[in-house]
Amino acid sequence: MSAVAEKTLTSRILSGIESKLPSLYGDGHARREAVTYLQEKGIPSKKWEDYKYINPEGLFRIGEFMSNAPVIREVTELDVERMTVIPGAMKLVIVNGVFNPSLSKLDRLPAGITVKSIDDAVLSDAVAKTHFGKQAITTSDPFIAWNTALNIGGVFVHIAANTQCEVPIHILHIAGNEAASTWHPRNLIVADRDSKAEVLESFETIGPVKTLTNVVTEVVAGMNAHLDHYRLQVEGEAGHQVNTTHVLTHKGSNYTTHTYSLSGAWVRNNLHIGFADQHTETYLYGLYVLDKARVVDNHSVVDHSLPNCISNELYKGVMSGKSTAVFNGKIFVRRDAQKTNAYQTNRNILLSDDATINTKPQLEIYADDVKCSHGTSTGRLDEDALFYLRARGIGQTAARKLLVRAFVEEVVDKVPNEAVKVYVENRLDDLFA
């Protein structure tokens, strides 16, 4: 793209953003700050180190059509039912970036659980006010800035102190419109001290029209909180997603995230783990399975700023067709973060000659009394194993499927929720059929 064309696109998009700036909530300062940041930095391009493998301008182009056109059709209870992952879970439904209480059915919230639309919560809820915008810093990334400028909805979930939430909380994102559209949902999940909960986010689309969901989620794991956070990215063939999740962990907390990128045209995940205290445990598990010309780009940062914390990251990928995957996992161990245990593993299987993986583990250690490791591997299916299976009468297709399933099992095994596991396994069966 030439400099002039780039400038034109940038100014066009920015004036689009400014002209559609929603009525402000809060003091409006954040929105103005976001627009200023985008004006100064411009739309990210492949020249940006963090976006070098993908085409971020293309995504902002989808955003050009931030139409106010009506949704392709009314999302119905049947849709919501069809998108069930965990039977009996609390469902919080977000349609085109806006929390929809009537589809959500909030009449049976367990004690200790508060659910509010985010725009309402930042005005009326003290907990939301305390944490909103504190992790995902507007001026740290263009997609966060874009979201901050334009978000009009999303959901705030508060798990009160000492609440052992037996019912999983399912935040269901549904996107779909008549014209190509971008949505900017914003979520805040606060698990207070000594609480325990399972939060599942799933991302679905309706219809064949291009959508971009530019979602920003902030998570706070309070003291001794135990939080399992699932993210199932199962959008349709025209679904695009930039998923920014910033997590802050407190003393004694145990936060685990399971990220499954199983469909959709294009997925970018920016996952950031920050530390408010010592003695936390964080586990990051990810699986991406790609075919056709799909793109999945996983960026993660685990920023060990304090001593005595544990983090373990395991991501696996299976690529076929002409798909492209990126894994960039950064672990920082800052100078004061002694006695850190930080591990990272990324393993990939390429099933076709035209599939690509760019994997870049980054470990930067500034403390001297730590245990850290990282490893990455990329290969094809083991030919000897394949022959061994075939020599027992198992056909090529079934043998390959067995080996791929075995490869991903290590990640799927980490899912403690049986319903989520079954859902993922069924999806994988379809993908490898």
Partner 1 sequence: MISIKNLHASVDGKEILRGLNLEVKAGEVHAIMGPNGSGKSTLASVLAGREDYEVTEGEVSFGGKDLLDMSAEDRAREGLFLAFQYPIEIPGVSNINFLKTAINEIREYKGLGPIDPKEFLALVKEKQKLVELDGKLANRSVNEGFSGGEKKRNEIFQMAMLAPKLAILDETDSGLDIDALRIVANGVNLLRNEGRAFIVVTHYQRLLDYIVPDYVHVLYNGRIVKSGPKELALELEEKGYDWIKAEANVEA
Which residues contact partner 1 by CB under 8 A? 382, 384-385, 387-396, 398-399, 402-403, 405-407, 409-410
Q: Which is nearer to partner 1, 77 or 409 (CB)?
A: 409
Report the SS3 class of residue 178. coil
Q: Which is nearer to partner 1, 145 or 349 (CB)?
A: 349
Tokens for 165, please give them.
Answer: 């939430």
Q: Which is nearer to partner 1, 366 or 387 (CB)?
A: 387
Residue 59: Cβ within 10 Å count: 23
Quote the least distance from Cβ 404 to partner 1, whole Å: 10
Quote the least distance from Cβ 136 to partner 1, whole Å: 36
CA atoms in the 13 A half-sphere facing the CB of 364: 11
- Gyration radius of the chain over CA positions: 21
Quote the least distance from Cβ 392 to partner 1, whole Å: 4
In angstroms, what CA-CA distances link 411 with 240, 254, 283, 414?
Answer: 24, 18, 11, 6
Residue 69: Cβ within 10 Å count: 13
Q: Which is nearer to partner 1, 47 or 392 (CB)?
A: 392
Quote the least distance from Cβ 317 to partner 1, whole Å: 15
**Residue 251 parent element (H or E):** none
Q: What is the dihedral of CA 171, 430, 72, 115, to 10 degrees?
A: -10
Residue 429: Cβ within 10 Å count: 11
Q: Which is nearer to partner 1, 60 or 432 (CB)?
A: 432
Quote the least distance from Cβ 414 to partner 1, whole Å: 13
Extended beta strands in 140-292, E state:
155-159, 169-175, 181-183, 186-191, 196-205, 211-221, 226-234, 239-249, 254-263, 266-275, 281-290
Instruction: Give the angle subtended at the CA of 161 by the CAs of 159 and 164, to the nearest 5°.
Output: 65
As a whole number of angstroms, the distance between CA 11 and CA 17 comes to 10
Quote the least distance from Cβ 223 to partner 1, whole Å: 37
Contact 177, 98 (CB under 8 A): no
Extended beta strands in 23-154, E state:
90-95, 98-99, 113-117
As a whole number of angstroms, the distance between CA 209 and CA 72 comes to 9
Quote the least distance from Cβ 382 to partner 1, whole Å: 8
Helix-, strand-, coil-residue percentages of the chain, each rounded to 5:
25, 40, 35
Q: Which is nearer to partner 1, 364 or 382 (CB)?
A: 382
Q: Which is nearer to partner 1, 365 or 386 (CB)?
A: 386
As a whole number of angstroms, the distance between CA 321 and CA 147 comes to 32
As a whole number of angstroms, the distance between CA 303 and CA 37 comes to 24
Q: Which is nearer to partner 1, 210 or 316 (CB)?
A: 316
Quote the least distance from Cβ 351 to partner 1, whole Å: 16
Alpha-helical (H) ranges within 42-92 are: 56-64, 77-82
Quote the least distance from Cβ 339 to partner 1, whole Å: 31
Extended beta strands in 320-421, E state:
324-333, 341-350, 356-365, 371-379
Quote the least distance from Cβ 314 to partner 1, whole Å: 14
Quote the least distance from Cβ 293 to partner 1, whole Å: 28
